[in-house]
Chains A and B, each alone.
Chain A
Amino acid sequence: MKQTPLTTVHRSLGAKMVDFHGFEMPVQYTGVIEEHLTVRRAVGVFDLCHMGEFNLEGPGALAALSKLTTNDPAALPEGGIQYTMLTKPDGGIVDDILVYRTATGFFLVVNASNIEKDFAWISQHLPEDAVLTNRSDETALVAVQGPKSLPVVEKVLNLSLGHMGSYTFIDATFKGHSIRISRTGYTGEDGFELYLPNAGAVELWHDIMSAGEPYGIAPIGLGARDTLRLEMRMPLYGNDIDETTTPLEAGLGRFVKFDKGDFIGRDVLLAQKEAGVTRKLVGFVMVDRGIPRQGYAIVNEEGEEVGRVTSGTLSPSLNQPIGTGYVPVELASPGATIYIEIRGKRLQAQVIKGRFIKTREESK
């Protein structure tokens, strides 16, 4: 198993460690619910060193990236960040990634489970005047997430960061290490993702923990990372999206820019858009008692299987079981009744609209 620069820190904190796609990662420290609520109410710190980072540079980088992804990288100003997807010719999703526009090209952040696959896929589609380098092994990523993130990160880096917009980044230094400060996250809360060389990770972690102490900061494991993202309906690659699902089916059409020019899968996706999708990824809450889990069957009124649960958990914020899954369009409208098969019982659930809980913007 691969370790991160912070593995020994997690062990000393008594974290429960698991194998996550070949990385030894903390799944929880004190408990998923407590950690989840700490991020919603205050601030938490995450080791995300397992994530992959690539640099894409050279004169041909922009055109190549535009061809590879669904969103429009040309629309991205320097210092801007874009959520986008790599798609196959059949419209299936190779990965969902973040694209950063730097002074010299692009910085891509990919899912840990897809590092090798994405590197091979992108390399295969590059012209000679674009160069892809894999920086994953030497790049650490520490996230600070929650309503109290800003004062914590400002204190650690001795910078004023309140002016930074969501989905923007700046480069700075932290104790002699270059650090990329990104106002992004996977929790729906305000927060930062901090990229730096491995050598600076432990010191950064400790400084964040000290600066966050007055706010009740706590380390957060992958367990709460999953419940936090699911409450916000952020898709998880491998659960909610994969090579057999398209961005349109997954409700990610706003990240597909048909008018930017050609890209891999455009024809298929355009045809799917014009004809209308036959199934959609929906969120649902349980009406009957039971917790939906990935892989459970979704059945209709007649008891026929119409889909599968892609993600499911008890929502710590709502104290209610929630889930997502693909259903035929006729069952995808908010309020529609579906059933989840749990241990042989057909339990009622209801399709909801949008996120399970409001984002900070929506609740203003």
Chain B
Amino acid sequence: MSDKRMLFTKDHEWVVVEGNIARVGITDYAQNELGDVVFVDLPTVGDTVEEGEGFAVVESVKAVSDVYSPVSGTIVKVNEELESSPELINESPYDQGWIAEIEIAEGAQLDDLMNAEEYQAFIKEA
């Protein structure tokens, strides 16, 4: 994990906050559980999302998996590379495989997130 500021959800998303922008992706554990990612259904820039709401869908050959937003806000950027190269989620889940950037809504907070150490402990229990 390249970024020390990275936080994690129980649904296996990661998030890095810079200013009022949260960049979101799925964790290495999640991509490994899913297998070969073959399709990513990205949100539309301008869409608003609620905390805990599915805002993107990642599909492997066999499975369909929702990606949940760790925070309420507005989609301001999506990783269009994933449309032609969904495998970036497998190859580089924390970097080139990022999914979207969310502008955090005023007053919204990132609750119940784990740091890297806590997340490692969490997936060991799973």
Contact = CB atoms under 8 A, between A and B. Distances in A.
Contacts of A52: none
A27 B39 contact: no
Interface in B2-42: 35-36, 38-39, 41
Interface in A277-324: 289-291, 293, 313-314, 316, 321
A313 B39 contact: no
Nearest to B62: A223
Contact of B38 (A16, A27, A226, A314): A314
Contacts of B60: 32
Interface string B59-85: 111101000000000000000000100
B52 to A, nearest CB: 18
A28 interface: yes
A28 B64 CA distance: 16
B15 to A, nearest CB: 23
Interface in A196-245: 223, 226-227
A313 B61 contact: yes
A30 to B, nearest CB: 10
B39 A223 contact: no
Interface bin, chain B: 10 to 19
B41 A343 contact: yes
A321 B60 CA distance: 11
Majority secondary structure of chain A interface residues (helix, strand, loop or mixed): mixed
A33 interface: yes
A31 interface: yes
B35 A32 contact: yes
Given A32-B35, A32-B36, A314-B39, A293 B61 contact: no
Contacts of A291: 38-39, 59, 64
Nearest to A315: B61
Contact of B36 (A27, A33, A290, A293): A33
Contacts of A16: 35
A37 to B, nearest CB: 11
Given A28-B35, A31-B36, A223-B35, A314 B61 contact: yes
A312 B39 CA distance: 13
A343 B62 CA distance: 17
Contacts of A293: 64
B61 A27 contact: no
A290 B62 CA distance: 14
A34 B38 CA distance: 13
Q: Which of B35, B39, B61, B64 has the most CB of A within 10 A?
A: B61
B57 interface: yes
A27 B38 CA distance: 17
B28 to A, nearest CB: 15
Contacts of A28: 35
A75 B58 CA distance: 49
B41 to A, nearest CB: 7
Contact of B61 (A32, A289, A290, A343): A32
Given A291-B39, A314-B38, A223 B61 contact: yes
A11 B52 CA distance: 35
Given A32-B60, A33-B61, A290 B39 contact: yes
19 contacts: A16-B35, A31-B36, A32-B35, A32-B36, A32-B60, A33-B36, A33-B38, A33-B61, A223-B61, A226-B62, A227-B61, A289-B39, A289-B83, A290-B41, A291-B39, A314-B38, A314-B39, A314-B61, A343-B57
Interface of A: 16, 27-28, 31-34, 223, 226-227, 289-291, 293, 313-314, 316, 321, 343
Given A16-B35, A28-B35, A291-B59, 20 more contacts: A27-B62, A32-B35, A32-B36, A32-B60, A32-B61, A32-B62, A33-B36, A33-B38, A33-B61, A223-B35, A223-B62, A226-B62, A289-B83, A291-B39, A291-B64, A313-B62, A314-B59, A314-B61, A316-B61, A343-B41
Interface of B: 35-36, 38-39, 41, 57, 59-62, 64, 83
State the 9 A-B residue pairs at the shortest beta-carbon distance, nearest first: A32-B61, A314-B38, A33-B36, A31-B36, A223-B62, A291-B39, A291-B59, A314-B61, A313-B61
